[in-house]
Structure 1
Amino acid sequence: MRITRRPLAAALAMAITATFGVAGLAPADAATRPAAGSEVLIPYEEFTLPNGLRVVVHTDRKAPIVAVNIWYHVGSKDEPAGRSGFAHLFEHLMFNGSENHRGEYFEPFELVGATDMNGTTWLDRTNYFQNVPTTALDLALWMESDRMGHLLGAIDQKVLDEQRGVVQNEKRQGENQPYGQADDLIYRALYPKDHPYHHSTIGSMNDLNAASLEDVKQWFRAWYGPNNAVLVLAGDIDVKTAREKVTRYFGHIPAGPTLERIQAGPVKRATTRETMEDKVPQARIYRAWSVEQYGKPDLERLQLLGSRLDRRLVFEDKLADKVSAYVLPFELASTFYVTADVRQGVDPAQVEKALDEEIARLLAEGPTAEELGQAKIMTKASVVRGIERIGGFGGKADALAECAVYTGNPGCFRDALEVVANATVEEVREAGRTWLGEGSHTLVVLPGERQALAEEPSPTPEPFKLPPPDRKYRALKPQVDRSKGVPMPDRFPDLKFPALERATLSNGTQVILARRDAVPVVQLSYEFKGGFAADLGRKLGTSSFTMAMLDEGAGELDALGFANRAESLGAVLGAGATLDGGNAYLSALKENLDASLQLFADMVRRPRFEQKEIERVRATWLAGIAQEKARPNGAAMRVLPPLLYGQGHPYAIPFSGTGTEESIASLTREDLQSFHAQWVRPDGATLIVVGDTTLEEIVPLLERHFGDWKAAAPAPAAVEAIPEVERPQAAAVYLIDQPGAVQATILAGQVVPSTKDPSTIVFDFANSVLGGEFSSRLNMNLREDKHWAYGAYSFTTQALGQRPWMAFAPVQIDKTAEALAELDREVREYVGGRKPPTPAEVAKIQATEIRSLPGAYETARAVLGTIGGIVRYDRPDDWVFRRKARIEALTVEQVQQAAATLDPDKLVWVVVGDLKQVEQPVRALKLGPVHVIDADGRPVAR
């Protein structure tokens, strides 16, 4: 949860997703009683193989896909002293092929169109997950079982060294961000050295360097047996099929030892505080408590705890730009955080004092009955929305696996729902008093020079003698000849996309409806013209700022009243702008659709633009711009567009749309009203509706709330056609200094044709071969081969005018020039024809693009986004089918021709890093003239 009022909806989504890994909860199976006040959600069945592998099956036939999610009950808490980072390192090693599949783990999955594929490690668990077409389930089970039962022969010193380097760059990438070292300090302070949560999951450089090949193999033997895992299959599957297939692929794997579990719990400690300096734009206060463990009733009550922190610190006293609170729930003990971003010019000590007072008041009074009621409604809403997704990080499969691993009961969320439904003000207040009193740790991060966080000494690990396998388990005879390789499917599900139904409102707005009845939710997006490009001739950031203010009070409700009303309906509302347009959106529970539409109409038609709220949001906005500049990616993305498009072009702006400090500081209420009157208007707009409704039902409701809406100003001429720009005469390099950085962030950019250009599909495909996929050339080079980066990719941004193409790589600081040279070489050889796209690469991307489509539209949000593109770029209603056919027909020659769109001799390079370390090596590359600029793109005197 969050201890705020304004973003309570997001807070309660976290209350579910953080605790259960999913925003949807359910009882165990059809035979068990339903959760309090609800129908049976996420029904499941389960069985256990003789070797100890526990399998949980949930059937959901709405899409021809199956989520495969396997959790191993091992995380960083299980690492012995001197071996920190082992669990996470091994997660990476598990993606480097197995004894019967030598090669990247992702490759066969890309060929069948897998989606939502990844792996993660945290304190208590390691998990791997992917969604696959139903016909590719055998492939997924073969692959997961091969790395569970046949991995060690594929791990050699080369693989270990490669993935050790990748992990170390992941560590550098995290620490290179503002506030990136805070969590390490907090956990070191909050949990003593003998507590398993004392050290970070990613580990120390010393321990990672010390890891030997035998060390990691012993780790695998100890923890990666079937008897220490839970496999969840969710989606287009039934328990009979699951039992047959899982037995076939996993049944022969021998069990591992049954290891003694670490016994630890929440920590009662003295209240402490510390400060640190970092390269940050504003002070931030963290306060953390060690609280109740996963699955306990008090943790759910803490999730419901609300307060007036936001009201006083942000809205009334204006001491902070943002205040939030949340729980990170873990198996042995959870951590409750309160954070506050201190407003510019305010003494952090004053903010700390106010936090002390408000937390004390919260513990004395507890939430009001109204606040608790709203929290419960938002919990219900997050449950209803969350059950739409079967897999991925936070899907229904995750909920089942997490409960099974942490509590032994896959349906443990039933108990949590009952606690939430029955919680009283007194119970919630008492939970706060029990856990949030003495014993906190406060960390204040102050602007200054970044100091590398010293690593704690790494002791020599105690000798570890592996116990024998648990004899109560037995393996079955192998049923699969693995020498035949991965079982690739020969057929795939067909693409399905809902029919688009149309109507026109009295106000001139076009309505497009796509019916989806998987959950009782209706989502709407009112699409307007304008966007960042409409800032030309205005103050930069006007479009984004205006749209962001729509839900800061509307009609008869001020900002807090509006937020409270939305929460009482279980509705999610907001608005924003993109490069070429803006939109206002609503996600409404069907049972509250009419009342939610009333609030939505007020937001769109009658925003208040109160001066006090403008000033509050302005201060937060300016702090956000400073945060952008402090982050390497943000700084690069602010300066690159003006370099690509040239001053005075509508796109020559920070692509975040946030504007500049000067422009935002000068915005007036009249500026916002003028933009709203000109661009937020019914004529020429489109209202997209996706969800559990019909035209017969929704159109009368829309007429009631929007039918009499008249534009408040004459219709503007459409945003003038975005002018074409010439590429620069030659390549150039721009350097931004970030003293003390442990990584350099490299961007390369160039303009390419508009999204509306007929060549777009083919160019985007050509980009995928170069840098659009995990197994594309850039990532395979800089991450998997050189292990200088955690990732290296290339992409384009959608635009009505010429689009920006960008390549992106954050690399370790001592390999900046070498990485820059490699990126340049890769682009040159690809687009120049020395290393053109191969038939295998083209076939792989075709397979990925086409075969992922049946699962791509699992959620209403995905459908909504696709229709938004159809509207924005004047595409036909059957666009998804036409695009599929075009990709199916592509030839290698067409892809090579599209790749030649790029000109490596005219690239614009931006490098953000410590110039003391990177400037001279970059200059020595002689890629082009080298310019040193600041985070606003202004030349820096040398």
Structure 2
Amino acid sequence: MCSSDLTKALIADTFGRVARGADVARPAVPAPTQARLKLVLEDRVPSPIVVVGFSGPVAQSPDNGALSIAAELLGNGEYGFLRNRLVSQLGIATYASASWTGGLLGGRFTFEAGAAEGVAPEALESAMKTAFADFLKTPLDPVDVERARTGILLAARLGSEALKDRAGVVSYNADVLGDAQSALVDDPRVKDASVAGVEATMKRLLKPEDASILVLKPGPRGGYPDALIGSSGTPQPFTAPERAAIDIPKHAAGQAPSATLPAMETATLSNGIKLVHYTMLEAPMVYVAASAAGGWNSVPEGKEGLLELAASMATRGAADRGSADFAKAASDIGAGVGHQAGTLTTMMTLGVPPEKLDQGIGLLADAVLKPRFDKTEWTVLMAQTVDWLNGREADLPGVAGRMAKATLIPQVPGKAAVDWSALALASISLDEARDAFKAEFTPKAVTFYSVGPMPVATVAASLEKAFGAWTSDTAGYAVEPSPAAHFNGGQKVLLVPEPGASQSALFVARPAPGTDESERAESTAVSNLLGADFSSRLNSVIREEKGYSYGVSSYLMSPMKAGSGLVVATTVERANTGPAITEILKGFAGLTTLPVAQDEVDRTVTVYRRALAGSAETSAGLFSSLIGAVGSGSTLEDQQTRMAARTKLTLDAVQKQALALASLDPSLIVVAGDPDVVMPQLAAIGLKDVEIVKRDEAGEETAMRALDLLGGNRQAPLSASPWRVGDGGTTRAVHACAGDRDCGAQIHAD
């Protein structure tokens, strides 16, 4: 029986046993009505945010394509109308974006912006309304409409490359649009939308006088009005009819899936640069990375973030194109040029359709060889980084994690610290960033990595045309390994005060093997059964039984090759801080009193078998794994070998390692929350020697002074490339993975 027939048979034998219920009539959806509401709220935001919104038609509406294109034209973060007007021209906003979302009962079209330093929300709101009115009056350029259409359609295709993602799109289209088959073709509403049609739809559905406004000002958390959190109707009692219990058969496990990586191929350019390539014949895109040795760890103390800022600048205009024109040139060919800055390497990345390979590599070459480093864009980048530094202080789990990281990986004199700091940011100049980029991206320090449907010779020939004449005697940066985590004897407890916080973020860690140490695979299994799995021991109690939290995470810290940590982290309602910590401590103790069971090991084995089977499913996924491995000082083949080892875990070995990881002497417990509520709970569970630590308010003030010197223009968060797959998300997400947690611990070997 073929796999599709077997799948259908299994579905029939499982869900076919459940009697079909009565059809549920879908309500008739009236035409959208506009609320014309204005709300002014306060929350933990670094600067005021203004959101303008309209009600829109249902997802099945033929207007969906025009509204999608309108949102892209208005709110593209690199060259959209609002970005150009509010950020580039007026300097009144730090970022601007727009979106259209359709639904069964109606949709919403919104655009928003963040206020620049010193700009009142009222002034931003007025400027946004004026800009939007001008947008509606300005005739659309057919070139811009075509660029938007191309980007939307390509993003949809790439978003369903993986089978699981494709199944999700099919399910959505079947349920919401009533047409499953439409998930497998380009959306005709986007594909066929005309310039005139987009203009007419905007003017008909997005009338400025119909707008609703949300203004979010910096202030304390909470205090939301009933319009946002209250019920929209009167609850009505109902009785669900009883249904007969159905016996669902438990099928025997099938044959373990397997997959083989494409063979690694190599080539060398005439100037000595090596290319490592993997051919995937059906790949819809080609992905290329110019990887330079040296990353976060390679800069001196006080210059943390230097190489990341430099790489970001290289995507913001190159050769004869400014930032917006460079981004447009990439979008015009369906490409994205981005960057990834990790602890050991820094990469410039490209994703491009195969037929546009030469043009895409030409853009990549411009970014690597001819970055502009415009002063205006530098001001924008520095300002946006300040915004991000300030904004992350509202994220309690991040606060707890960063405090734990700073405690476990103390500063070594002369070496880079493990996290951003406002002082370091203020000390970095545009000239330093330009010089650092030139020093790092040199033929002697760069290796190319690529994944695509063509053979290595084709990629090498294209790279040769763009990079073959590149020469330099510069050696580049030295690669510095990631420092180990240090646990002192005993149990250390830290409290990071967040007065008034309704929740507490918890971080509990103990020593564990590093990525290159023995028992790392077994430790991964222990981590999974303790907290990472949905049905793990801690989730079963803290989430399911006690209801303290939405979920518990557990992971092994990386990328330190030796001296890592096993971490359990969660966020709980503040009244349950002490009880939740108690359950976490019981969970560790239970590794001794409740031996690991075979089914707990099997769950980890199954996860890695699935990961192995899907490791070469998509070109985007393979490329992401490739550059992730390179960035951690490993190889794709090494990573595959480690994942394979996890599929061979034995019960005895995991039980033995569980005993080794059960003790919390030494350990670190960090709590971020309201001290008046939390401290009595900590004392009640026996944690009386608690050190209260304060955040670096002086650092924030220094960053703000640096911002003033730079002109006071604040910008949106660091952006990745349009296709993002080669960038690992934003570059800050890369650092979160590298220093705070082992991202994807269940599916990636480290």
Extract unaligned runs of 5+ from structure 2. Answer: 75-80, 700-750
Q: How far 1:452 moved relative to its partner? A: 3.6
CA-to-partner distance for each residue in 1:312-334, whole Å, 9 max, x for gaps?
21222222221110012101210
* 1:288 lines up with 2:49 in the alignment: no
Q: Which residue of 2 is the match for residue 447 of structure 1?
A: 218
1:800–1:466 Cα change, 3 Å: closer
CA-to-partner distance for each residue in 1:310-357, whole Å, 9 max, x for gaps?
012122222222111001210121011111111222111111111111
TM-score of the pair, normalised by structure 1: 0.68
Structure 1 Cα separation of the partners of residues 437 and 313 of structure 2: 10
* 1:402 lines up with 2:172 in the alignment: yes
Q: Which residue of 1 is the match for residue 88 of structure 2?
A: 315
Structure 1 Cα separation of the partners of residues 275 and 95 of structure 2: 37
Q: How far 1:601 moved relative to its partner? A: 1.1
Q: Which residue of 1 is the match for residue 710 of structure 2?
A: none
Q: Which residue of 1 is the match for residue 581 of structure 2?
A: 820
* 1:261 lines up with 2:26 in the alignment: yes
Q: How far 1:672 moved relative to its partner? A: 0.5
Q: Which residue of 1 is the match for residue 675 of structure 2?
A: 915
Asked if the contact 2:67/2:198 (under 8 Å) is kept, the reply is yes
Give the aligned residue type for 1:409: D
* 1:556 lines up with 2:316 in the alignment: no
CA-to-partner distance for each residue in 1:55-81, whole Å, 9 max, x for gaps?
xxxxxxxxxxxxxxxxxxxxxxxxxxx
CA-to-partner distance for each residue in 1:612-659, whole Å, 9 max, x for gaps?
10101111111111111111122223322111111237997465xxx2
Give the aligned residue type for 1:429: E
* 1:344 lines up with 2:114 in the alignment: no
- Residue among 730, 737, 754 paired with 2:490: 730
1:829–1:243 Cα change, 3 Å: closer
* 1:680 lines up with 2:441 in the alignment: yes
Q: How far 1:300 moved relative to its partner? A: 1.0
Matched residue of 1:297: which SS? coil
Q: Which residue of 2 is the match for residue 546 of structure 1?
A: 310
CA-to-partner distance for each residue in 1:281-329, whole Å, 9 max, x for gaps?
2211111100121122212101101131001212222222211100121
Asked if the contact 1:387/1:519 (under 8 Å) is kept, the reply is no
CA-to-partner distance for each residue in 1:450-486, whole Å, 9 max, x for gaps?
23435536876445478999xxxxxxxx9xx975841
1:845–1:383 Cα change, 3 Å: closer
Asked if the contact 1:678/1:713 (under 8 Å) is kept, the reply is yes
* 1:361 lines up with 2:134 in the alignment: yes
Give the aligned residue type for 2:383: A
CA-to-partner distance for each residue in 1:705-753, whole Å, 9 max, x for gaps?
122223473434x234555564223322221222332221101234544
Q: Which residue of 2 is the match for residue 327 of structure 1?
A: 100
Q: Which residue of 2 is the match for residue 743 of structure 1?
A: 503
CA-to-partner distance for each residue in 1:349-391, whole Å, 9 max, x for gaps?
1111111111001111243222112112213422442342121
Matched residue of 2:665: which SS? helix
Q: How far 1:271 moved relative to its partner? A: 3.0
* 1:584 lines up with 2:348 in the alignment: yes
How do 1:108-507 and structure 2 match up within 5 A? 237-238=3-4, 244-269=9-34, 271-305=36-70, 306-307=73-74, 308-391=81-164, 395-412=165-182, 417-437=187-207, 438-453=209-224, 454=226, 455-456=229-230, 461-462=235-236, 464=238, 485-507=249-271
CA-to-partner distance for each residue in 1:112-136, whole Å, 9 max, x for gaps?
xxxxxxxxxxxxxxxxxxxxxxx9x
Q: Which residue of 2 is the match for residue 118 of structure 1?
A: none
Q: Which residue of 2 is the match for residue 763 of structure 1?
A: 523
Q: How far 1:785 moved relative to its partner? A: 2.2
Asked if the contact 2:38/2:212 (under 8 Å) is kept, the reply is yes
Give the aligned residue type for 1:769: L
Asked if the contact 1:686/1:871 (under 8 Å) is kept, the reply is no
Q: How far 1:781 moved relative to its partner? A: 2.2
Q: How far 1:548 moved relative to its partner? A: 1.8
Matched residue of 2:210: which SS? coil
- Residue among 676, 693, 702 paired with 2:463: 702
Asked if the contact 1:733/1:931 (under 8 Å) is kept, the reply is yes
Structure 2 Cα separation of the partners of residues 551 and 781 of structure 1: 47
Q: How far 1:869 moved relative to its partner? A: 4.6
1:572–1:266 Cα change, 3 Å: farther
1:249–1:773 Cα change, 3 Å: closer
The number of residue pairs the alignment matches comes to 685
Q: How far 1:273 moved relative to its partner? A: 1.4
How do 1:46-125 and structure 2 match up within 5 A? none
Give the aligned residue type for 2:25: E
Structure 2 Cα separation of the partners of residues 845 and 730 of structure 1: 31
The RMSD of aligned alpha carbons is: 3.0
Q: Which residue of 1 is the match for residue 604 of structure 2?
A: 845
Structure 1 Cα separation of the partners of residues 565 and 139 of structure 2: 51
Structure 2 Cα separation of the partners of residues 429 and 413 of structure 1: 26
Q: How far 1:567 moved relative to its partner? A: 0.8
Give the aligned residue type for 1:661: A
Q: How far 1:897 moved relative to its partner? A: 4.2
Give the aligned residue type for 1:298: D
* 1:936 lines up with 2:692 in the alignment: no
1:275–1:873 Cα change, 3 Å: closer
Q: Which residue of 2 is the match for residue 106 of structure 1?
A: none
CA-to-partner distance for each residue in 1:204-263, whole Å, 9 max, x for gaps?
xxxxxxxxxxxxxxxxxxxxxxxxxxxxxxxx854x556554444334432222333222
CA-to-partner distance for each residue in 1:147-192, whole Å, 9 max, x for gaps?
xxxxxxxxxxxxxxxxxxxxxxxxxxxxxxxxxxxxxxxxxxxxxx
Q: Which residue of 1 is the match for residue 287 of structure 2?
A: 523
1:586–1:626 Cα change, 3 Å: same
Q: Which residue of 2 is the match for residue 621 of structure 1?
A: 385
Structure 2 Cα separation of the partners of residues 888 and 299 of structure 1: 46
Structure 1 Cα separation of the partners of residues 186 and 30 of structure 2: 20
* 1:535 lines up with 2:299 in the alignment: yes
Asked if the contact 2:495/2:670 (under 8 Å) is kept, the reply is yes
Structure 1 Cα separation of the partners of residues 192 and 55 of structure 2: 25
1:378–1:724 Cα change, 3 Å: closer
Asked if the contact 1:266/1:290 (under 8 Å) is kept, the reply is no
Structure 1 Cα separation of the partners of residues 518 and 290 of structure 2: 27
Q: How far 1:416 moved relative to its partner? A: 6.7
Give the aligned residue type for 2:448: L
Structure 2 Cα separation of the partners of residues 536 and 418 of structure 1: 54
Structure 2 Cα separation of the partners of residues 673 and 712 of structure 1: 17
CA-to-partner distance for each residue in 1:739-778, whole Å, 9 max, x for gaps?
3322211012345443233443333233223223212222
1:753–1:256 Cα change, 3 Å: closer
Asked if the contact 2:340/2:347 (under 8 Å) is kept, the reply is yes
Q: Which residue of 2 is the match for residue 882 of structure 1?
A: 641
* 1:867 lines up with 2:626 in the alignment: yes
Matched residue of 2:614: which SS? helix
1:388–1:433 Cα change, 3 Å: same
